Amino acid sequence: MLFNLFSITHCNIAQFRQYAKMSNIKFNSSTNGQYKSLSTLLVSYAKDRKEPLKLCKPQVPTHLSPWFITGLTDAEGCFDFSISNSKTINTGFSVKPRFRITAHKRDIILLYMVKEYFNCGNISKIDVKDCLDYTVSDQNSIFNIIIPFFTNYPLRGTKHLDYLDWLKGLEIIKNKGHLTLEGLNEIKFIKANSNTERLFNNNINLHCNPNTPGYIPLDPNYISGFLTGDGYLSLITKIDSPSFGRIKIGFTQHQDNYLLLQSIKDFFNVSNLVISKVNDKAISLNCGSEDTIYNILLPFFEKYPIYGIKAITLIKLLKIRDLILSLRGSRKTTKWTPELKSQIISIWNDTSIQLKADATV
Ligand SMILES: [Ca+2]
């Protein structure tokens, strides 16, 4: 049923109704309350297709693991301050702390699940093409919900350093320091030196290093959240490629997150999961072994679920794996007949869930 729920932003109205019926999604015709932004987005989605859509309220699964959210945040989250001109504040600037998670609009349900989990914040369109933000910017929610959450379920990647700097800025705000020129400048300094502007030292990924006191064991749901945000799940579909049908699963990261990738590698403890250099700044963790992908990685992400559109990709890849194995029988290798290839392509392009068959989603 989860499967149907996640496809609602990819379907036409008739399919939407059908999914809603199958998934027992309740409809609600009011535009007020916390469902407004989702409803608005679904309406605009329907307008794109020139079909009417009644406002709807999907019942979002609420059993997300907190570690999933931490993994997703390490991948797609952002802790920063928005600083804008103000005529009413003496310094001339108003300062607002923000916690955000960004996703493609196809993954609106994923953001919606996070919003349900925290029970605060809003989902809105942003300037980046086809992207949406889940944003928490009211101080009450930041101090009482967001900070306690990341104290209990700490970030593991370089984003943890942005988070620590953000806390310093929040401390200034808490003491009303941001209303003075000195405090404002301190926050501007923090803003100018964190996130993409950060220069790194050696003290990174401290929660990932088993030889330091800051080490925190890796929870499997963290890996699922991180894959949902920053990982890739794909299939080689070029029909005349010698690698046709090969499934690829992995992560590409800035090299500063080396220890984070290393800890994921250590978690699975298989030798054919390797970290390699992509370019000057990027590294990747991936796997060249069909056996590991079929029998360890795919089942892992079935057990510790990923959500959003990648969850649909996972279902397709599991079907493709099962098809390949059933036709292989007792042979050691696959006979890539044209029939098999076309069956694989048709699973990959299955439009009954209206998913764009990107090679990498
Ligand atoms: Ca990222």
Instruction: Please tell me whether residues 334 and 233 are part of one structural domain.
Output: yes
Residues facing 85 on adjacent strands: 93
Instruction: Please tell me whether residues 76 and 195 are part of one structural domain.
Output: yes
The rounded Å distance from CA 212 to ligand 1 centre is: 25
The rounded Å distance from CA 76 to ligand 1 centre is: 5
The rounded Å distance from CA 140 to ligand 1 centre is: 27
* Residues 39 and 57 sit within 8 Å (Cβ to Cβ): yes
Exposed/middle/buried for 243, CB within 10 Å: 0-12, 13-18, 19+?
exposed
Instruction: Please tell me whether residues 42 and 71 are part of one structural domain.
Output: no
Q: What is the per-residue pLDDT for 18? A: 54
The rounded Å distance from CA 264 to ligand 1 centre is: 16
The rounded Å distance from CA 155 to ligand 1 centre is: 13
The rounded Å distance from CA 166 to ligand 1 centre is: 18
Q: Note down the domain range covering 6.
A: 2-48
pLDDT per position in the chain (361 positions), as tens?
232 333 344 444 455 555 445 544 444 433 333 333 344 445 555 555 555 443 334 445 567 899 999 999 999 999 999 999 999 998 999 999 999 999 998 888 788 889 989 999 998 888 888 899 999 999 999 999 999 999 999 999 999 999 999 999 999 999 999 999 999 999 999 888 877 666 665 557 889 988 888 899 999 999 999 999 999 999 999 999 999 999 999 999 999 899 999 999 999 999 999 999 999 989 999 998 999 999 999 999 999 989 888 988 999 999 999 999 999 988 989 999 999 999 999 999 986 754 332 222 2
The rounded Å distance from CA 277 to ligand 1 centre is: 17
Q: How far apart are CA 340 and CA 245, in angstroms?
A: 10
Q: What is the per-residue pLDDT for 22? A: 52
Instruction: Please tell me whether residues 238 and 191 are part of one structural domain.
Output: no
The CB density around residue 167, as the number of other CB atoms within 10 Å, is 16
How far CA 311 is from CA of 4, 97, 201, 305, 315, in Å, comes to 11, 32, 36, 8, 6
Strand ranges of the sheet holding 122-125, from the earlier edge strand across to the other edge: 77-85, 93-104, 131-136, 122-125
Instruction: Please tell me whether residues 123 and 230 are part of one structural domain.
Output: no
Q: How far apart are CA 159 and CA 268, in angstroms?
A: 23
The CB density around residue 199, as the number of other CB atoms within 10 Å, is 5
Instruction: Please tell me whether residues 299 and 181 are part of one structural domain.
Output: no
The rounded Å distance from CA 202 to ligand 1 centre is: 20
Instruction: Please tell me whether residues 224 and 342 are part of one structural domain.
Output: yes
Q: What is the per-residue pLDDT for 46? A: 54
CATH number, domain containing residue 188 = 3.10.28.10
Contacts of 295 (CB under 8 A, 6+ apart): none
Instruction: Please tell me whether residues 280 and 333 are part of one structural domain.
Output: yes
The rounded Å distance from CA 302 to ligand 1 centre is: 22
Confirm whether 206 is domain-assigned.
no
Confirm whether 40 is domain-assigned.
yes
The rounded Å distance from CA 75 to ligand 1 centre is: 4
Confirm whether 154 is domain-assigned.
yes
DSSP 143: I
Q: What is the per-residue pLDDT for 49? A: 53
Confirm whether 209 is domain-assigned.
no
Q: How far apart are CA 165 and CA 78, in angstroms?
A: 12
Token duo for residue 8? 């609602």
Instruction: Please tell me whether residues 18 and 88 are part of one structural domain.
Output: no
Place of tokens 């607002």: 96
Instruction: Please tell me whether residues 228 and 192 are part of one structural domain.
Output: no
Instruction: Please tell me whether residues 177 and 253 are part of one structural domain.
Output: no
Q: How far is CA 165 from the centre of its chain?
A: 23
Confirm whether 173 is domain-assigned.
yes
Confirm whether 53 is domain-assigned.
no
The rounded Å distance from CA 40 to ligand 1 centre is: 27
The rounded Å distance from CA 251 to ligand 1 centre is: 10
Please compute, for residue 216, the number of CA atoms within 13 A of its CA located in the half-sphere on the CB side. Answer: 17
* Residues 244 and 236 sit within 8 Å (Cβ to Cβ): yes
Confirm whether 54 is domain-assigned.
no
Confirm whether 60 is domain-assigned.
no
Q: How many domains does the chain have?
A: 3
Instruction: Please tell me whether residues 175 and 229 are part of one structural domain.
Output: no
The rounded Å distance from CA 10 to ligand 1 centre is: 24
Q: What is the per-residue pLDDT for 109? A: 78
Q: What is the per-residue pLDDT for 66? A: 96
**Closest listed residue to residue 81, CA positions, set 68, 94, 69, 63:** 94
Q: What is the per-residue pLDDT for 253? A: 94
The rounded Å distance from CA 138 to ligand 1 centre is: 24
DSSP 333: S
The rounded Å distance from CA 276 to ligand 1 centre is: 18
**Closest listed residue to residue 80, CA positions, set 169, 176, 146, 141:** 169
